[in-house]
Amino acid sequence: MFNPFTSRPRNRRRDGDFTLDVRLNAEADGPPRRRRVWWLKPALVLVLAGAAWFGGGALIQLGKERWLYHIPSLALRDLPVVRDGVITAGEIRRLAGINVGRNILTVDPYTVRQQLLRHPRIEDARLELEFPGTMRLTVRERVPVARLMLPSVGGRETYLLVDDLGHVMAPFETGRAPAEIIESEAALPLLTGTSAVGVAPGHTLQGPLTLAGLKLLATFGEAPISTETELASVDVSTAGLLSVVTTRGAQVALLPTGFERQLQQWLGVHRRSTELRRAISSLDLSVAHHPPLRWVELTASPTNEPPVRPTRPKRKPPQRRHA
């Protein structure tokens, strides 16, 4: 018989919660489960691949240094230099950083060419490998046509040289080139009317009139008029006009184009003035027909003969070998 005072009905829900709690506590008291790190394996693969890559590269480099680069049959035995200027062959080899005896496989032609082109005097450079032991260096130098005066410092005048394309270079120091070359470059015409502030060797002058003036100087050196007179300066400050002054003081104006025709016309006027015992004071060749001309009388000789001037040799720049 059921006695309500001596027996209590079982609470199944509470007993279930108690059993679940016991199981959770039992699992919590056990050893902790190890958590997997997902990035560990890919990282290990990358480390091994990097070690193999760098290790393989080191082994290859070691093989080159110990075996390939020391093969006597691949050593440079001849390093000829073909040049068209005044830079010595030894200086060109020094700029290239190559010596006889070096393994030809260690020479990077592109790097050597870039090293040579950094010199402001060198316009182009070429390397030719002739296996097994010859490397030929061919260098073409720039030819200056004008001087560019720099602002004086401490009362000392200095100048830079400019070629027909506007590339700026420094003059040779005494002893670094033949004396006649240094003197010839020191007597080149002046380029005036353009700013020299901030200009240094390796720079390139800009401006259409400046480049036209330099081209005029290069063309003048090859024209027949250059055997009759010399230029002292060319001014590029007037728009659309080049103003030239000769060493005898004659002032000649030219257009920045069509130099061959104008120089030929100048030669004709010069020869006519010589026949008349006169000299050109000013000539405006920018006027196509009947250019304005002013003459000055020459001092007559005692025999009433026109003064005879010796024909001066043309100042020829170094011959270039164009590729």
Question: Which of 246, 319, 250, 258 has the alpha carbon at shortest distance from 287?
Answer: 258
Residue 55 predicted with pLDDT over 90: no
Residue 84 predicted with pLDDT over 70: yes
Give me the count of residues in the chain.
323
pLDDT band at residue 49 under the 50/70/90 scheme = confident
Evaluate whether residue 276 is within a structural domain.
yes
Give the DSSP letter of residue 222: H
Residue 286, SS3? coil
Other Cβ atoms within 10 Å of 5 Cβ, number: 5
| Model confidence pLDDT, tens digit, residues 193-222 | 998 888 999 999 999 999 999 999 999 999
Of the chain, the end-to-end C-alpha distance in Å amounts to 127
CATH number of the domain enclosing 90:
3.10.20.310
pLDDT of residue 104: 82
Of 141, 161, 184, which marks where a domain is finished?
141
Residue 300 predicted with pLDDT over 60: no
Residues 162 and 74 in one domain: no
Chain mean pLDDT for the chain: 81
Residue 90 predicted with pLDDT over 70: yes
Query: Does 103 or 138 have the greater pLDDT score?
Result: 138
pLDDT of residue 120: 92
Of 141, 163, 191, which marks where a domain is finished?
141
Residue 34 predicted with pLDDT over 80: no
pLDDT band at residue 307 under the 50/70/90 scheme = very low
Evaluate whether residue 215 is within a structural domain.
yes
CATH number of the domain enclosing 227:
3.40.50.11690
Evaluate whether residue 290 is within a structural domain.
yes
Degrees to nearest 5, angle at CA 94 with 89 and 95: 100
The pTM of the whole model exceeds 0.75: no
* Cβ atoms of residues 98 and 132 within 8 Å: no
Separation of alpha carbons 148 and 168, rounded Å: 9
pLDDT of residue 44: 76
Separation of alpha carbons 323 and 187, rounded Å: 30
pLDDT of residue 237: 95
Evaluate whether residue 31 is within a structural domain.
no
Residues 89 and 225 in one domain: no
Residues 125 and 155 in one domain: no
Residues 264 and 183 in one domain: yes
The total of structural domains in the chain comes to 2
Degrees to nearest 5, angle at CA 260 with 255 and 263: 75
pLDDT of residue 68: 57
Residue 177 predicted with pLDDT over 70: yes
Other Cβ atoms within 10 Å of 190 Cβ, number: 16
